[in-house]
Each structure stands twice: as C-alpha cells, then as structure tokens.
Amino acid sequence: MVITRVGALSVAKIAAVVYAGIGLLAGLMFALIGMTGMAAGLASESSGGAMLGAIFGIGAIVFMPICYAIIGFIGTLIGATIFNAAARMTGGVEIDVK
C-alpha cells in the first residue's frame, strides 16, 4: 500500500480536535495554577491577587483549547499540503499492512 495523497482539510480538522483536547488539558493545569494564585491572594491582605488568579484560571480553560485548535489546524493544513507535494515528487510513502 502506498500513500500518495492525504486530504489536507480532513487531516487538519482531525488535528484541530486533537489539539483542542490537548489545549483543554493544558488549560486545566493552568487553571489549577490560577486557583493556587487565588488562594494565595485570599490569604494576603489585598484581594486583587485573588481576582486575578480566578480570571487567569477560567480564561485558561476557555482560551487555550481555542488557541491550540486554531494553531493545530493551520499547522497541520500546511504540513499536509507539504506532504502532498513531497509525495508527488517522491512517489509516496510505502506501508505494509497485514
């Protein structure tokens, strides 16, 4: 079996979903860090740090998956297009399937 072409748009859509999931995991980690900042801000005398930590945490859960999905989509679309050009020049990728 030889892969000579991939559907760049379909590969990019799948990558966008995968990268959005990775972005959600990264956003959750940043949210945990933000909640730690919120707890530290509540323990201090000023309340500005607590609000900043909460905004940072919630924003990470929303913003990071969107950014990861957009960047993953664009990067994979470019990569798949380059693959198609290279496969045309070299004859493709040979894969043995049993």
d(CA 77, CA 69): 12
Residue-wise pLDDT tens digits, 58-83: 888 899 999 999 999 999 999 999 99
Residue-wise pLDDT tens digits, 1-31: 888 999 999 999 999 999 999 999 999 998 8
Report the b/e string of 2-35 with b at 16+ CB within 10 A.
eeeebebeebbeebbeebbeebbebbeebbeebb
User: Model pTM?
Assistant: 0.78
> How is residue 83 written in tokens?
């693959």
Q: Are 91 and 2 in contact (CB under 8 A)?
A: yes
The reported pLDDT for the residue numbered 47 is 58
Report the interhelical angle of 8-43 vs 48-90 (nearest 10°). 160
Highest-confidence segment of 23-32, 38-47, 49-58, 63-72: 63-72
Q: Is 46 a residue whose pLDDT tops 70?
A: no
